[in-house]
Amino acid sequence: MSDTLRILVVDDELGMREGCRRILTDEGYDVETAPDGLAGLELFRERLKPEGGTDAGQGRPAHSFTAALVDLKMPRMGGMELVERIHELDPDALILVMTAYATIDTAVEATKRGAYGYIPKPFTPDELLLPVRNGLERRALALEARRLREERQNRLLEVAFERSKCNTVINCMTDGVLVVNRDGQIVLRNNAAARILPECAGLPLPSPLTCLSCAPLAALVDEALHASSLPMIVSRELPLGLCTYMANASPVFEPGGGILGAVAVLRDITALKKLEVAKSMFVSMVAHEIKSPLAAIEGYLHVVLAGIGGSDPQRDRHMLERSLLRAQALRSMVSDLLNLTAMETGAFVVKREGLDLADAVAQAIEACREKAEAKHIALALHKPPGPHDPVLADRSALQSILTNLIDNAIKYTPDNGHVDIAVEPNGMYAKVAVKDDGIGMTPEERDHAFDEFFRAKNDFTSRIPGTGLGLTLVKRLVELHDGRVTLDTAPGKGSTFTVRIPMVRHDAAPL
Amino acid sequence: MNSQPPLVLLVDDDRDFLEMTSHVLEAAGYRTACASDPAAALDAMTREKPSLVVSDLMMKALDSGFSLARQIKADPNLRGVPVVLATAIASRLGMDFTPRTREDLAAMHADAFLEKPLRPADLLATVGRLLGRGPGGTTP
């Protein structure tokens, strides 16, 4: 389809219709005619409908009329009404009225109803063409202006939408954000920043950096603003109230390389700082636990080597024995500590297999027998007769659990006491109970029994070398096996540690 | 009374440490008494007022030694007894209790501070200085 403009001529005089057609066709327009108002309106309406569904371009069919030349005096429907109806159908259509009764009143009336102008009859070809050309030009200009206006409106909407999206994203950030222009004026702060820096909450923007009550932050942003080399990020830890923040500020560069401003991000690192303190507390604790036995060992060695108080072979031997005992306890503490760390970092590999619990207990009892005999403590194993289902456990971890518990029971039981170990395959879990008739624990001691480095301290225990890590290790190992360890104890009534380890079921799939 | 050697009260929950230090002090001519916690120490002081107290810092609680020292200095009868605090707490990490000035010591209610492991010679020198004796202990 060419971009030929199509013009409708409506007049009840055939001569006028054909005359117009000739003049306009010569000028390159497509012309159609109608003999009265109603026919003209029908034709105009018909051409506005999409042609065979192919809607050319912006909702306006290519074969529709761009302009209409309308006679005023016509049968069936007068020109005035036709002008009005056409204008209703297509407000963009150029309508020109042709009349032999050209008065100001009719012209004004027609213009009110939507006509662009009028052509007094009779007219020369030029007198017809000039207003048509002018009108069409005006119409094209108006349409273009409207298109531009709409485009601009759309773009503005888009920009506004993008900006609000950006604002929403910045405001939803958990970190505080402050943006400063090159003059050191705060031009943006998000919700988190207003929370962290209360003086920011009601701050009119822009406001100078000096409005910030946190001087180090203002200094940091200022530093970023005057960054000499790029890209440059300045960071500082800022304690604000009860919290600690990590403030990072960096300059914002414009495409040419000049500094536009700076952006600062405030991140809450309070939890990290607490962790740091906890870590250093733990290291101090470990150092203390290592230095205490070393202090005893070194002290004894000094006394023996320097022969302080004269030489007494029996006394020297006793001091050396004590030193050896403390050194062994220290070594075992270091290995417990390494095992615990390995468990925490996930480096501790548990290889589960079906194991006979009664056999494992018997083995652990053998390992502890010498210590029990030295204190004349009776070690007894109680187990139901016959074979039972195996437990699902790591062999060395299970040994570590059992020997730790039996060793513990022997340690905290006075001479000539009893330690009874009962094995009971019980439903989904096998149960081992290690019961002693030793000193027991107070409720407070029981609550901390599984804590790292916890050791009940009293006259009896002060002589017992221990790491304070054995029970922590037992608990972690048992839990690593999806098991449970419980403690029943009272001062003077002894303690019973009960461990439950999952069993391999007969009906379960083979390992 | 004057013929009796001075009594040093040792307070520590580590029996080996008590045994070692009491041996060192006794060899130097002092008498010693041992207590394994602050309560037992205060109890022992009611029986016989010591000339000096050497206490561990961290026993049942983190600040056992501090509270014992505070109680001694608050008691009109015991106020004059010098207190030596000894600890194995690592001074370089997290908890730094090492006093650097006289004011620090006063705040701790202590007269001297020793870091474990301690050398017998250092212990004797400190005790001797506080009791106005030579490091040997026996010479007045």
Return the pLDDT at A69.
93
Q: Which residue of A has its CA nearest to B62?
A: A285
Among the ranges given (A250-259, A424-433, B58-67), the one the predictor scored with the smallest mean pLDDT: B58-67
Last residue of a domain, one of A118, A150, A182: A150
Mean pLDDT of A244-270: 88
If asked whether residues A180 and A203 sit together in one domain, one would say: yes
If asked whether residues A229 and A356 sit together in one domain, one would say: no
In this structure, what CATH number is given to the domain that contains residue A380?
3.30.565.10
Q: Which residue of A has its CA nearest to B21?
A: A299
A328 at the B interface (CB within 8 A)? Answer: no
Of the spans A415-419, A460-464, B129-133, which averages the highest pLDDT?
A415-419
Kindly report, residue by residue over B25-37, the tens digit of the pLDDT. Answer: 999 999 999 998 8
If asked whether residues A335 and A357 sit together in one domain, one would say: no
If asked whether residues A121 and A202 sit together in one domain, one would say: no
- B16/A287 CB distance under 8 A: no
Identify which has the larger pLDDT, A465 or A403: A403
Mean pLDDT (chain A) is: 85
Distances (CA, A) of B42 to A82, A279, B15, B81: 118, 35, 18, 12
Question: In sequence order, which ranges of A178-262 are alpha helices (DSSP H)?
Answer: 191-196, 198-201, 215-225
Mean pLDDT of A14-22: 91
Domains and CATH numbers, chain B: 7-130 (3.40.50.2300)
| Domain assignment present for A165 | no
Identify which has the larger pLDDT, A371 or A86: A86
A351 at the B interface (CB within 8 A)? Answer: no
Kindly report, residue by residue over A493-502, the tens digit of the pLDDT. Answer: 999 999 999 8
Instruction: Measure the CA–CA gap between A355 and A508, rounded to whole angstroms.
Output: 15
Return the pLDDT at A158.
84
If asked whether residues A297 and A187 sit together in one domain, one would say: no
Last residue of a domain, one of A268, A290, A324: A268
Kindly report, residue by residue over A318-352, the tens digit of the pLDDT. Answer: 999 989 988 887 887 788 888 888 887 877 778 88
- Above 80 in pLDDT, residue A107? no
A464 at the B interface (CB within 8 A)? Answer: no
If asked whether residues A189 and A296 sit together in one domain, one would say: no
Chain A interface, best mutation among B93, B98, B124, by max A CB count within 10 A: B93
Q: Judge contact between A415 and A376, C-beta under 8 A.
A: yes
| Domain assignment present for A434 | yes
Beta-carbon contacts of A289 under 8 Å, excluding residues fewer than 6 positions away, are: A333, A453, A467, A468
- B117/A294 CB distance under 8 A: yes
Return the pLDDT at A463.
60
> Is residue A507 very low, low, confident or very high in pLDDT (cuts 50, 70, 90)?
low
The residue among A171, A170, A183 whose CA lies nearest residue A261 is: A183
> Is residue B61 very low, low, confident or very high in pLDDT (cuts 50, 70, 90)?
low
- B116/A319 CB distance under 8 A: no
If asked whether residues A110 and A46 sit together in one domain, one would say: yes
> Is residue B138 very low, low, confident or very high in pLDDT (cuts 50, 70, 90)?
very low
If asked whether residues A258 and A286 sit together in one domain, one would say: no
Find how far residue A119's CA is from the centre of its chain.
71
If asked whether residues A368 and A490 sit together in one domain, one would say: yes
If asked whether residues A263 and A296 sit together in one domain, one would say: no
Burial profile A256-294: b = 16 or more Cβ within 10 angstroms, e = fewer: eeebbbbbbbbbbbeeebeeeeeeeeeebbbbbbbbbbb
| Domain assignment present for A33 | yes
Last residue of a domain, one of A233, A268, A303: A268
Chain B interface, best mutation among A308, A320, A323, A328, by max B CB count within 10 A: A308
- A306/B120 CB distance under 8 A: yes
Instruction: Measure the CA–CA gap between A375 and A287, rounded to whole angstroms.
Output: 31
Q: Which domain holds residue A308?
A: 275-344
Among the ranges given (A64-78, A386-400, B85-99), the one the predictor scored with the smallest mean pLDDT: B85-99
Mean pLDDT of B42-52: 93
- Above 90 in pLDDT, residue A61? no
Alpha carbons within 13 angstroms on the beta-carbon side of residue A36 total 6
Chain B interface, best mutation among A277, A292, A459, by max B CB count within 10 A: A292
| Domain assignment present for A159 | no
Identify which has the larger pLDDT, B108 or A134: A134
Return the pLDDT at A505.
67
Nearest CB to A322 within list B16, B27, B93: B16
> Is residue A58 very low, low, confident or very high in pLDDT (cuts 50, 70, 90)?
low
Mean pLDDT of A63-69: 90
Beta-carbon contacts of A235 under 8 Å, excluding residues fewer than 6 positions away, are: A220, A246, A247, A248, A249
Kindly report, residue by residue over A117-171, the tens digit of the pLDDT. Answer: 888 888 888 989 999 999 999 999 999 999 999 988 888 888 888 888 888 888 8
| Domain assignment present for A84 | yes
If asked whether residues A142 and A18 sit together in one domain, one would say: yes
- Above 60 in pLDDT, residue B58? yes
If asked whether residues A354 and A492 sit together in one domain, one would say: yes
Which tokens go with B99? 């006093």
Kindly report, residue by residue over A419-470, the tens digit of the pLDDT. Answer: 999 998 767 888 999 999 988 888 888 888 888 767 666 666 666 666 677 8
Instruction: Measure the CA–CA gap between A251 and A262, rounded to whole angstroms.
Output: 4
Per CB-CB distance under 8 Å, the chain B contacts of A276 are none
- Above 80 in pLDDT, residue A251? yes
- Above 50 in pLDDT, residue A1? no
Report the domain count for chain A: 4
| Domain assignment present for A413 | yes
Return the pLDDT at A423.
92
Of the spans A265-279, A300-314, B70-84, which averages the highest pLDDT?
B70-84
Instruction: Measure the CA–CA gap between A318 and A295, rounded to whole angstroms.
Output: 17
| Domain assignment present for A199 | yes
- Above 80 in pLDDT, residue A278? no
B39 at the A interface (CB within 8 A)? Answer: no
A322 at the B interface (CB within 8 A)? Answer: yes
| Domain assignment present for A511 | no
Helix axis angle, A395-411 to A470-480, nearest 10°: 150
The whole-angstrom distance between B107's CA and the closest CA on chain A is 22
Among the ranges given (A98-107, A136-145, A244-253), the one the predictor scored with the smallest mean pLDDT: A98-107
